Amino acid sequence: MWNAKYTMIKEKGMFYLRKSLSMLAILVVNALFCEKCVCKPPARIISLYPAHTENLFSLGLSKEIVGVSRSETYPPAVFEKEVYSPFDSIERFISAQPDLILIRPMLERAHFQLFSTLRSAGIKVVSLQPRTVPEMYEYWLKLGELTGRKKRAQEMIDKFKEELKKIEKIVSRIPLSKRKRVFFESIHKKFKTFSPRSITMFVLNSAGGINIARDAIPTRNTNIADYGKEKILSHADDIDVYISQSGHMNHVTREDILYEPGFQAIKAVREGRVYIVPEELVSRPTLRLIKGIYLIGHILYPEYFHGKGESEKCLRLR
């Protein structure tokens, strides 16, 4: 699909792509174009991953965002932005004149030729996706470095850790004998859970939950882990609460779980303790993970989390 080669030409202050058999022209323009852009923060950013987009807004870069993905959900201002897809033409991306395009590894693997060609055309394309909370802090700092907002990125980290300390105080009051054992589902159709070191399991652990699937092995170096129905049912009497994320990766309803053949053997299903939570609050590496922790806390220990973390105030930077 992307076998044609392109050169970039400038006419009346605008950049255009022209099909060509010469890669030399591309390399020359690439060097000149990158040299021009590297000295100052990007003024025009296209984000093709909702987590990047949300974090860019947290960094105060609303005006700099000129394009977003089809999967955006937050903040509300994101719906005013132009929508882009990796299935769009190279020309459409070039015509937006982005200084920076942010993607994640999964997208790069699926559309390698597109992003390779955009890089050859002189556009900075950066692929990022943290898998753990320590990596998330590094990721926020990297976004800050790329956009000239390092101080703001550090403020995000400080605010997140400050809110975690408040949650730790709440959880410390919950007796160990009352801690809930949880199966946290990532993909219902394949009976998958999350890697024990994943961001989602950090959310569960921070809320005082006990991961019943601590032996789950990550799939292809991702946050997702295979588990299987048979293994879930082997813990049937030990699962106090069954939680599943709902979103782009997992279109599931509470009824899907309650009426899954064989699942009546699960303690949580028999007692009706099955909950669906938004994927964006428990898996997306943003400040709103704090809101996700409070949400899980309310599900597991309503008597301890009542009235806590119910507003957006805990997410605001100074």
* Residue 185 forms part of a structural domain: yes
Residue 186 sits in the same domain as residue 286? yes
Residue 35 sits in the same domain as residue 108? yes
- Joined together, the tokens standing for residue 187 give 């993909």
* Residue 181 forms part of a structural domain: yes
CATH of the domain at 53: 3.40.50.1980
Residue 198 sits in the same domain as residue 277? yes
CA-to-CA distance for 291 and 222, rounded, in angstroms? 23
* Residue 77 forms part of a structural domain: yes
Name the least confident of 253-257, 279-283, 305-309.
305-309
Residue 295 sits in the same domain as residue 192? yes
Q: Check pLDDT > 80 for residue 284.
A: yes
45-62 pLDDT tens trace: 999 999 999 999 999 999
Q: Which residues contact 245 (CB under 8 A, 6 or more apart)?
A: 184, 185, 186, 200, 276, 277, 278, 279, 282, 283
161-201 pLDDT tens trace: 999 999 999 999 999 999 999 999 999 999 999 999 999 99
Residue 93 sits in the same domain as residue 220? no
* Residue 113 forms part of a structural domain: yes
The per-residue pLDDT for 107 is: 96
CA-to-CA distance for 88 and 156, rounded, in angstroms? 33
Cα–Cα separations (whole angstroms), residue 73 to 42, 54, 70, 80: 23, 9, 9, 12
- Total domains present in the chain: 2
Q: Full-prediction pTM beyond 0.75? A: yes
Q: What angle do CA 274, 275, 281 make, to 5 degrees?
A: 155
Q: Which residue has the tokens 């292809």?
A: 220
Residue 14, beta-bridge partner list? 11
* Residue 165 forms part of a structural domain: no
Residue 116 sits in the same domain as residue 188? no
The per-residue pLDDT for 23 is: 33
The last residue of one of the domains, among 129, 162, 194, is: 129
Residue 13 sits in the same domain as residue 83? yes
The per-residue pLDDT for 14 is: 46
* Residue 143 forms part of a structural domain: no
The per-residue pLDDT for 110 is: 96
Q: Which residues contact 165 (CB under 8 A, 6 or more apart)?
A: none
Residue 188 sits in the same domain as residue 122? no
Under a CB-based contact definition with an 8 Å cutoff, are residues 180 and 212 in contact?
Answer: no
Residue 281 sits in the same domain as residue 200? yes
Pairing of strands 241-246, 274-278: parallel
When pLDDT is averaged across residues 149-160 and rounded to a whole number, the result is 98
CA-to-CA distance for 252 and 274, rounded, in angstroms? 12
Q: Which residues contact 280 (CB under 8 A, 6 or more apart)?
A: 50, 73, 74, 247, 286, 288
Of 17 and 120, the structure prediction assigns the larger pLDDT to 120
61-120 pLDDT tens trace: 999 999 999 999 999 999 999 999 999 999 999 999 999 999 999 999 999 999 999 999
The per-residue pLDDT for 312 is: 53
Residue 40 sits in the same domain as residue 95? yes
Amino acid at 160: F
When pLDDT is averaged across residues 262-276 and rounded to a whole number, the result is 98
* Residue 141 forms part of a structural domain: no
Q: What count of other Cβ atoms lies within 10 Å of the Cβ of residue 286?
A: 26
Residue 44 sits in the same domain as residue 101? yes
When pLDDT is averaged across residues 13-28 and rounded to a whole number, the result is 40
* Residue 22 forms part of a structural domain: yes
| Domain around 36 | 6-129
Q: Which residue has the tokens 């303690």?
A: 267
Q: Check pLDDT > 70 for residue 314.
A: no
244-264 pLDDT tens trace: 999 988 999 999 999 999 999
Q: Which residues contact 172 (CB under 8 A, 6 or more apart)?
A: none
> What does the mean pLDDT of the chain come to?
89
Pairing of strands 241-246, 181-185: parallel
